[in-house]
Amino acid sequence: MSDTLSLQGRTALVTGSSRGLGAATARRLARAGCDVVITYRRKDREAAAVAEAVEATGRRAWVHRCDMSRIDHIDALMDAVEDPATGPGRLDVVVANAAATSFRPLMDAQPRHVERTFAISVTGFLRLVQRAVPLMEAGGGGRIVAVSGADTVTWIPAHGILAAAKAALESMVAYLACELGERGITVVGVNPGWIDGDSLQLMLGPFYEAAADVERRTHPMRSTMSPDDVAETVALLCTDAARLTSGSIVRADGAGVFAFCGRFIQLAAEQAMAAGAVDPGDGDAPSVVGPT
């Protein structure tokens, strides 16, 4: 009986794998035994470094520039992947990770901001799947993992455009799971919470340190999650063992998003006590603060 938790000998394509979660996923899948197609939009040196890391595990790597908002780029990528002269010639796993948006309130959004965000996460995602499925099917089936975001389930300031695109992505995950199951292809979404990486530091700017401190102190696991942490869950979802998750959106956040209401109360209580505004009592009274 084959080991359904093994990814040994598989071939994976990870979009947006020059940095962040995509890069961590490419490296993790290589350590699990996958050859990896790495794609990027602008950061060619970073993409080459990820390819080196993949090859250092003894697996093969291919690097392709592909702007996921461009159908012609996606078609060129998949042409290259299908051809054994320029790519692996087969595909078992697709991780649709690339995303980009314009972070702004919805009332400030211009049509071009919405169109570009949707071009990557909705139109581009669908084209990638349409091109990848025949290749996966020819190899006996496969798994598609789509990376969503916490903004579909909770308000994150300035995330409205991306949240709408990711919500559409999540809908397509469920529909594709229904359409592709009989062809041996499963489709799952993964919804990370706060990923402690470059993109978050860029988005939060001068508030990053303060926000990271609150995240660490109030998260149920009392830590932030690195791209490598989240990549562990993504890799797990790529295995055959996870095939019954098809059609689901799996949260990979250690309950961080579910806990937001309690974290808010906990923080308010801590701040009130630190300011001396509240007497914590003798310890017998019920407390909303909980273990720290």
Q: Where are the beta strands (DSSP E) in the chain?
A: 11-14, 35-40, 61-65, 93-96, 142-147, 185-192, 249-252
- Token readout for 184 is 């041996």
Q: 101 near 169, Cβ under 8 Å?
A: no
Q: Does 167 interact with ligand NAP (rule: CB under 6 A)?
A: no
User: Phi and psi (nearest 5°) for 248?
Assistant: -95, 160
Q: Does 144 interact with ligand NAP (rule: CB under 6 A)?
A: no
Q: Provide the β-strand partners of residue 38.
A: 14, 63
Alpha-carbon distance 285 to 292, whole Å? Answer: 17
Of the residues 109, 158, 167, 200, which one makes contact with ligand NAP according to CB under 6 A: 200
Q: Does 256 interact with ligand NAP (rule: CB under 6 A)?
A: no
Site string for ligand NAP, 124-143 (x = CB under 6 A): --------------------
- Least Å distance, CB 199 to ligand NAP, is 3
Q: Does 149 interact with ligand NAP (rule: CB under 6 A)?
A: yes
Using the contact rule CB under 6 A, the part of the chain among 84-92, 107-115, 180-188, 196-204 near ligand NAP is 196-204
C-alpha torsion sign, points 62, 56, 30, 40: negative
Q: Does 225 interact with ligand NAP (rule: CB under 6 A)?
A: no
Residue 135 host element (H or E):
helix 125-138
Tokens 């093969």 belong to 60
Residue 61 host element (H or E):
strand 61-65
Minimum CB distance to ligand NAP smaller for 65 or for 217: 65
Alpha-carbon distance 133 to 81, whole Å? Answer: 12
Q: Interaction with ligand NAP in 172-191: which residues (CB under 6 A)? A: none
Minimum CB distance to ligand NAP smaller for 67 or for 229: 67
Of the residues 87, 160, 197, 254, which one makes contact with ligand NAP according to CB under 6 A: 197
Strand-strand pairing, 185-192 and 35-40: unpaired
Q: Does 64 interact with ligand NAP (rule: CB under 6 A)?
A: no
- Least Å distance, CB 215 to ligand NAP, is 10
Minimum CB distance to ligand NAP smaller for 200 or for 273: 200
Of the residues 13, 34, 40, 224, which one makes contact with ligand NAP according to CB under 6 A: 40
Q: Sheet of 185-192: strands edge to edge?
A: 61-65, 35-40, 11-14, 93-96, 142-147, 185-192, 249-252
Alpha-carbon distance 77 to 176, whole Å? Answer: 21
Minimum CB distance to ligand NAP smaller for 18 or for 233: 18
Of the residues 54, 195, 236, 238, which one makes contact with ligand NAP according to CB under 6 A: 195
Q: Taking the C-alpha atoms of 223, 229, 230 and 231 in order, what is their torsion angle to the nearest 10 degrees?
A: 170
The count of chain residues that interact with ligand NAP, using the rule CB under 6 A, is 33
Residues forming the site for ligand NAP (CB under 6 A): 15-22, 40-43, 46, 66-69, 97-100, 120, 147, 149-150, 192, 194-195, 197-200, 227
